[in-house]
Structure 1
Amino acid sequence: IPMERLVVDEASQIFVGDYLAMFYKFRATLEKVCWFGDPRQLPPHQREQIKGLKSIYDIPHVKEASLMLDTQYRMPPEIGNFVSMVMYARELHSWSDHRVPGFDCTKFVDVAVGDEEPANTSWVNHAEANTILHLVRNYYADLPFVVITPYDSQRKLIEKTLDTEGLPGKGRCFNVDSFQGNEEDYVLISCVRTSRTGFL
């Protein structure tokens, strides 16, 4: 079937070079392409092969024709407003009726002991994994929760720690790349690094 119109979701997650073969294949019939995505989210996992381009939104005529959907519905306003300030120059607005009933929307837990340790090419923090275990066991086991961490070795450690204790771990622990685009009511974040921020 000749392709005339193409809609691409999560467009910023696709390498610019990966579009070329498709454009070439349908060059005789393709009339319009609509890209949906957020160029301020994480880029694709590997490095882009076309120098100077991180996403399709770096191409000038695509950037100029872009429209911003300026209201987010996923996060409570207190979190959404922080994200808007840091990442979107306060241009992203939050749906005002979003509330997490019965809980403050953010809590910070100071893990006073324990440091990151190298694990192959990644990092783990056993004290943080044990803190996550404590939080899940005492507060979140029966709630819709996920654990997110920047390091896959930490993800595996937390998942194994929870599973070993008979708590939900498999399918609940993600690295930031694999969870991007998803949502959950309760999100526990394990930063891992204590002495340096690393790539964060």
Structure 2
Amino acid sequence: MVFIGDDKQLAPYGSDDIQQLQSVFEFPHLRKRASFLNTQYRMPVVVGDFISRHVYGNQLKTVHNNNSNTACRFLDVKKGQEKKSGHSWVNESEIIVIAHLAGLYYKQGKQYRVVTPASLGRQVLQRNEEDYIIVSLVRSQGVGFLKNVRRTNVMLTRCKKSMIICTSRQFVTAGKAANTLVGMLAAVMGPEGWLDSRDIARGVLP
């Protein structure tokens, strides 16, 4: 019998209710015999190297033909505000921006998917991989799911060619999200990693 999985991504089902619940890969006597698959081929180099350094202790190698920093960009949604909606959250400004981005990708004939915190379900590991990924953080004030490194790792590792993360620049660079995995990625990408509405109006996409 062979178990294949990643304890750095989605936690075992039920862990939200049972905090001490572990995956099979976290039991010390089983982990000693585990083999680490140390090469990834999906993500562009800039994303793969960041994830390797901040999640996998520099053990994950990337083999990919895209080594441009523009494969990962942030889009500053200046007026985005999170609002409670039932048991979840919405950000109407991000919805408008993402609809426009989706239209641009569609016109260019590019295969894309939109990833939000609500879409990070159990099937996300296969169903939400795509060439171009649009990420909506939704949150602009509270950290929420961003404090969960596993879920954030899943969100940031879906793209095959490029990723654009829609959020508030202030929130992830100087606000509560600055110390999260997304905040650290924004710091690595630096000021040149940011786009704004004028760039999108000109059709600038990663």
Matched, 1:195 2:161: no
The separation in 1 between residues aligned to 2:19 and 2:124, in whole angstroms, is 27
The separation in 1 between residues aligned to 2:96 and 2:105, in whole angstroms, is 14
Aligned-partner residue type, residue 124 of structure 2: F
In structure 2, the partner of 1:42 is: 10
How many residue pairs end up in the alignment? Answer: 143
The separation in 2 between residues aligned to 1:138 and 1:48, in whole angstroms, is 37
Structure 2 length-normalised TM: 0.63
| Aligned-residue RMSD, C-alpha | 2.2
Preserved CA contact (<8 Å) 1:113 1:127: yes
Matched, 1:145 2:112: yes
Preserved CA contact (<8 Å) 1:75 1:98: no
1:18-97 maps to which residues of 2 (within 5 A)?
33-47=1-15, 52-95=20-63, 97=64
The alpha carbon displacement at 1:106 in A equals 1.1
The separation in 1 between residues aligned to 2:92 and 2:48, in whole angstroms, is 30
| SS of equivalent to 2:76 | coil
Q: Which has the higher helix share?
A: 2
Identity of aligned residues (%): 35
Preserved CA contact (<8 Å) 1:149 1:189: yes
In structure 1, the partner of 2:120 is: 176
Rg larger for: 1
The separation in 2 between residues aligned to 1:68 and 1:184, in whole angstroms, is 24
Q: Single out whichever of 138-147 and 190-199 deviates more from structure 2.
A: 138-147
Closer, same or farther: CA 35–80 of 1 in aligned 2, 3 Å: same
| SS of equivalent to 1:69 | coil
Structure 1 length-normalised TM: 0.65
Aligned-partner residue type, residue 83 of structure 1: I
| SS of equivalent to 2:130 | coil
Q: Which has the higher contact order (CA 8 A, sep 6+)?
A: 2
Identify unmatched segments of 5+ residues in structure 1: 1-32, 152-174
In structure 1, the partner of 2:97 is: 131
